[in-house]
Structure 1
Amino acid sequence: MSAVDTQYDTYQNPFNSRYCSKEMKYVFSPRNRFSTWRQLWINLAESERELGLEGITEDALKQMKDHVQIQDAEFETAAIEEKRRRHDVMAHVHTFGLAAPAAAGIIHWGATSCYVTDNADQIFLRDALNLLLPELAAVIQRLSKFAKEFRSLPCLGYTHGQAAQLVTVGKRATIWIEDLLDDLHNLEHARDRLLGKFRGTKGTTGTQASFLAIFNGDHDKVKKLDELVTQKAGFTGAARSTTQTYSRKIDVDVMHALSSFGCTAQRIGGDIRHLAMLKEDEEPFEADQIGSSAMAYKRNPMRSERLCSLGRYLANIGANAEQTYATQWLERSLDDSAIRRLVLPEGFLAADACLILLNNISSGIVINKAILKQRIDAELPFMATENFIMALVGKGGSRQDAHEHIRVLSHQAGAVVKQEGRPNDLIERIRNDKFFEPIHGELETLMDPATFIGRSPEIVDDVIEFDVKPALEKYKDALAKIGDADLKV
């Protein structure tokens, strides 16, 4: 062991050291947490004074506002007090009182601990969602640009892991885009619902009894206090009935939206990895990047692999919120505390990390057009057989006879590919078969890949015009400021 503890002697959460943005890390940082507590105490005292409570002076409010940002030295003061009192909120009431002595007697007046802890958590959820949403919109915008660029570029479609009818590179990207648009909607819905369900000033068991006491039984003032504190926190409404805490059902809904996005991240990363395995695409690869420590030629899809890994973690995090909500007892139990300190920040940090990766990947996907053509050429003769049959019938031939001739030649060509490892020679066999002589001059046209992609280009256009544009309109100012994501490692 090192004689002196350093950052290298203590476990480091990879979200902090490797994967996440400084903005998201700050939302859940100790400084933001305890400074937010202080702002909530200011909001409470200010509102109580506005409603006529005596003893809350202008000087007290000024001192509180002058010290709303907790300073480095105060963390140590609070830590010493918490060790002594075994109560984090009261440790910070004491610490804030030292910084604002004129307010020491009125800080936390009428409140329970959850006034600051729960209201602050809801603020963090809101702020974290507001960070994620523009970043998700940016990924959708980048993938839309990619889809438009390759709207008409044919490629093999795959069902059951096997070659199927052709699609286009752009059409495939719209599948990802549609799912990400669902995630955008889910996160917006979770944020908007949260904005109307602030905990506010509800007291120890949700009855507001302590506030009714300090306002001498004036119900209207107690209701007004709840409204004022809610408005000052930037929320549109407060829940009418709570326990000591806000309902952990809110955490469930927020974490479900994040977990659903984690599934999407896995899906997109998996698709890109499969296509990279087939050499059809490649994720961005930097000039000095090393793909493998042993195999120097390799270009491993490390970004997409990391995306799948973090997406998998995120997809499973919602179960913790579900179980925490389900096991709450009556007006409150504290078995939710430790787990929420882990689950809520890490859910958002994982989502933030996935979005950084998606931003980076979608900004530089490489499409290997020669490989796409090679794979199409290997499979298209089989796919074109129906066109050949229809063309023969159109010239007066028998469908049954045409089908039998095609079946025989297709199996022969398939054996050449599978058993001898040689190129697909079905077209050559058709050219040499007199039965197909009526359509020999049409074979190239009948095998044009562009005739096999259906409405793929038009589907790309419709998705961008009718789904993407309306969804991203509200983010246009933010999108103008978001650049390409740069990975830390």
Structure 2
Amino acid sequence: MSGLFSPRTRYSTWRKLWLNLAIAEKQLGLTAITDEAIEQLRAHVTITDEEIDAASAQEKIVRHDVMSHVHVYGVAAPSAAGIIHLGATSCFVTDNADLIFLRDACDLLVAKLVNVIDRLSAFALEYKDMPVLGWTHFQPAQLTTVGKRATLWIQELLWDLRNIQRARDDIGLRGVKGTTGTQASFLALFDGDHDKVEELDQLVVELLGFKYAYPVTGQTYSRKIDIDVLGPLASLGATAHKMATDLRLLANLKEIEEPFESTQIGSSAMAYKRNPMRCERVCSLARHLTGLYQDTVQTASVQWFERTLDDSAIRRVSIPSAFLTADIVLSTLLNITSGLVVYPKVIERRINSELPFMATENIIMAMVQKGQSRQECHEKIRVLSHQAARVVKEEGGDNDLIERVKKDDYFSPIWDELDKLLDPSTFVGRAPQQTDKFVKVTVSAALAPFKKYLTSEKVELSV
């Protein structure tokens, strides 16, 4: 991602655009463009470090980045010096290059995202049957399973995959539109031949590997395109933040932890600490990512007529920042999901502390089947439940509701059924089946077009 948004890639892409514009113009009959000019442009399409420095020095003189690079490219390809940028405005290279970067950057994110989904799906299948205490309002709720909870994260990641891919596939080129989008300069080049101007636009699109050009533009492509692309990245940030927050809370509960190396230090003072620093990093960067989206909304809203230049500086910051941030968020999630650690005994102990209260309805139903009154049973179990709750909350003791049931002769008809009534697997509903079907059907179908990206490569974080 850093390479994609580097000066070398940017300026080499400008040269690629100038080369293909010249190829298309020559193909449509502009005799001023020679075969030698095309060959020289092609030979120097990748800019060198020395040429980048030369263009920078030239820009200090002329105060124009594009014209500086036209000059330096012309020095490298002297036979083409007079026809580089023929008929074009600066946005032919700057905007078309940005659209190429948006497309290619989405591809890089998709490649990482599908691997996060794939590894998290393997985790979900592995733990699809393991009961775990569910939480609503971060208060104990009905049981679910470790795997089922993971499917909630996966589903949102699948939506992010859909949204990023959809935005990527919708990106077109600005094409060859001229200074205010009217194509007047190209119409002059082709002696008023409208068909050739349209053919030129389409030919450049095809040479650069795009499906279409936006049918109308001002000098720039509409900045709403940036909204369309960075919106899904902001949404990914929200997903990542929610997932990482859940894992941070689970780390506090000591149920699930992110990977922790044997030599890793959690705190300079508290040697026992195992801080969820990777998930904290995800949350930190995700907040930055969601905030960058506002740059695109504000910028698109204040563009004047065919263009203004107050979009330039902010886009050079916010667009690369958004993709670089999304990229490291996904790299970190890939590292996390490749090594999640589950502590079954802690999970079991927490279930056992809450399950007796959740089992009261099952106990009532079992007693009714033995011929007892529901209302009478409800009152007896209510009293015992409040007694047990008082022990937990006021005395700091364990939940002894079941022990109280076992000591009350009223419940003797179901004493031999209590173990079955308290089996956690009977409280998770269809969580295992939902998880299995979701991963094997929904996730499998969603990832099918992206199998070429799947890898088992381990992702290491430098720090």
Give the TM-score band, short-chain normalised.
Answer: over 0.9
**Structure 1, residues 107-131: CA drift from partner, whole Å, max 9, x if none?**
0000000000000000000000011
Question: Where does residue 352 of structure 1 map in the other structure?
Answer: 327
Verify: 1:334 aligned to 2:309, yes or no.
yes
Give 1:179's aligned residue: 156
Correspondence for 2:457: 483
After TM superposition, list the pairs within 5 Å mapping 1:449-460 onto structure 2: 449-460=424-435
CA distance in 1, matches of 2:435, 2:348: 21
CA distance in structure 2 between the aligned counterparts of 1:63 and 1:439, rounded to whole angstroms? 91
Once residues 332 and 203 of structure 1 are traced to their aligned partners in structure 2, the CA distance between those partners, rounded to angstroms, is 12
Q: How does 1:24-423 map to 2 (within 5 A)?
A: 24-194=1-171, 197-423=172-398
CA distance in 2, matches of 1:110, 1:257: 35
For 2:31 and 2:148, how far apart are their aligned partners in 1? 67
What is the SS of the residue equivalent to 2:3? helix
Partner of 1:461: 436
Query: SS where residue 170 of structure 2 aligns?
Result: helix
2:374 corresponds to which letter in structure 1? Answer: R
- Aligned-residue offset at 1:311: 0.8
**What is the distance in 2 between the residues matched to 1:439 and 1:227?**
79
Q: Distance in 2 between matches of 1:226 and 1:288?
A: 59
**Match of residue 11 from structure 1:** none
Q: Distance in 1 between matches of 2:137 and 2:372?
A: 34
Deviation per CA, 1:189-223, whole angstroms, max 9, x where unpaired? Answer: 100111xx210000001100000000000011100
Opposite residue 411 of structure 1, the aligned amino acid is H
Q: Which amino acid aligns with 2:310?
A: D
- Tell me how far apart the structure 1 counterparts of residues 414 and 427 of structure 2 sit (CA, whole Å): 18
Query: Is 1:433 matched with 2:394?
Result: no
- Which 5+ residue runs of structure 2 have no aligned equivalent? none
Q: Partners in 2 of 1:342 and 1:74 — Cα distance? A: 23
2:320 partner SS: helix
Assess if the C-alpha contact under 8 Å between 2:389 and 2:399 holds in 1.
Answer: yes
1:73 Cα offset (Å): 0.8
Query: What do residues 206-258 of structure 1 show as CA deviations (whole Å, max 9, x unaligned)?
Result: 10000000000001110011001111111100111011001111100101010
Shift of 1:465: 2.2
Deviation at 1:354, TM superposition (A): 0.6
- SS at the partner of 2:2? helix
SS in 2 for 1:317: helix
Task: Report which stretch shifted further, 163-172 or 288-297.
Answer: 288-297
1:335 Cα deviation after fit = 0.5
Equivalent position amino acid for 1:306 in 2: R
8 A Cα contact 2:114 2:453, kept in partner: no
Residues 355-387 of structure 1 deviation map (CA, whole Å, 9 limit, x = unaligned): 001100000000000100010010000000000
The percentage of counterpart residues that share the same residue type is 58
Give the C-alpha shift of residue 399 in structure 1. 0.8
How far did residue 315 of structure 1 move?
A: 1.3
What amino acid is aligned across from residue 414 of structure 2 in structure 1? I
1:289 and 1:140 mapped to 2: Cα distance? 26
Structure 1 residue 446: Cα displacement: 0.2
Tell me the C-alpha RMSD between the 2 structures.
Answer: 0.7
**SS of residue matched to 2:87:** coil
Provide the rounded CA distance (Å) in 1 between the counterparts of 2:380 and 2:228: 59
Q: Distance in 2 between matches of 1:133 and 1:477?
A: 11
What amino acid maps onto 1:485 in structure 2? Answer: V
TM-score, length basis structure 2: 0.99
d(CA) in 1 for partners of 2:303, 2:262: 53
Secondary structure, aligned partner of 2:30 = coil
Residues 400-424 of structure 1 show CA distances to partners (whole Å, capped at 9, x for unaligned) of 1111111100010001011111111
CA distance in 2, matches of 1:388, 1:316: 51
Distance (whole Å) between structure 1 residues aligned to residue 192 and residue 440 of structure 2: 57
| Amino acid in structure 1 at the alignment position of 2:96 | N
How many Å apart are 1:317 and its aligned residue?
Answer: 1.2
Deviation at 1:474, TM superposition (A): 1.2
Q: State the shift of 1:488 in Å.
A: 1.3
Amino acid at match of 2:152: I
**Given that residues 20 and 207 in structure 2 are in contact (C-alpha distance below 8 angstroms), is that contact kept between their aligned partners in structure 1?**
yes
Alpha-carbon distance in structure 1 between the residues aligned to 2:47 and 2:183: 29
Residue 163 of structure 1: SS of its match in structure 2? strand
Q: d(CA) in 2 for partners of 1:483 and 1:37?
A: 34
2:156 partner amino acid: D
Q: TM-score, normalised by structure 1?
A: 0.94
Q: Distance in 1 between matches of 2:434 and 2:111?
A: 25
- Divergent runs of 4+, >4 A: none
What SS does the corresponding residue of 2:445 show, helix, strand or coil? helix
